[in-house]
Amino acid sequence: MSDTVAKAVEKMVAFYEEESTMVVHDVNHFMKVWGFARTIGTLEGLDPETQETLELAAVAHDIACPLCRRKYGAADGRHQELEGEGLTREFYQGFGLPEEQLDRICYIVAHHHSFTGVDGLDYQVMLEADFLVNADESDVSREGILSFREKVFRTATGLRLLDQMYGL
Ligand SMILES: [Fe+2]
């Protein structure tokens, strides 16, 4: 794990401590999603920069949830899309990330509920990692999992993990 990612994890825990009414849930969620993102990205052979972009996006992917719960009463995809980009940009200020990488991280965070227009492996793996966790946390039915598998999953590693975990 890069120092930058470790720093991001530490800061994300502090962020949820400050902002969230469900700190343990939110921290456990992003740590699991990040773990899958890291694993899939590594096994799929992402180059080091794309891997770091993916991991930094995974750490911060639900950054807008506490604000959306407060402001809109729910953390649905549309509202997260609205708030995610600005919060992510602010969160990663001071990390010294190249502008282009920061833009990409913000884009992935803001779009992690959009399943069309996936334009890179970092984005693709983000979606797969989040679903591997959400399928369990949200008790998604077998049909729901199969349909998401068909529509969204693409990487061999993501597909393998999904099949192994959910007995497909
Ligand atoms: Fe998530």
Encode pLDDT of 93-129 as tens digits. Answer: 999 999 999 999 999 999 999 999 999 999 999 999 9
C-alpha 61 to ligand 1 mean position (Å):
6
For 140, half-sphere exposure in the C-beta direction (CA atoms, 13 angstrom radius) is 19
The CATH superfamily of 3-166 is Hypothetical protein af1432 (1.10.3210.10)
Residue entry with tokens 């884009």:
107
Q: What is the length of the chain?
A: 168
C-alpha 45 to ligand 1 mean position (Å):
23
C-alpha 63 to ligand 1 mean position (Å):
9
Question: Which H or E run includes 74?
Answer: none
C-alpha 153 to ligand 1 mean position (Å):
16
Question: Which H or E run includes 150?
Answer: helix 142-151
C-alpha 6 to ligand 1 mean position (Å):
19
**Which sequence spans correspond to the domains of the chain?**
3-166
Encode pLDDT of 29-73 as tens digits. Answer: 999 999 999 999 999 999 999 999 999 999 999 999 999 999 998
- pTM for the structure as a whole: 0.96
C-alpha 118 to ligand 1 mean position (Å):
17
| Euclidean distance between CA atoms 111 and 3, whole angstroms | 26
- Of 80 and 100, more confident: 100
| Euclidean distance between CA atoms 134 and 152, whole angstroms | 14
C-alpha 74 to ligand 1 mean position (Å):
14
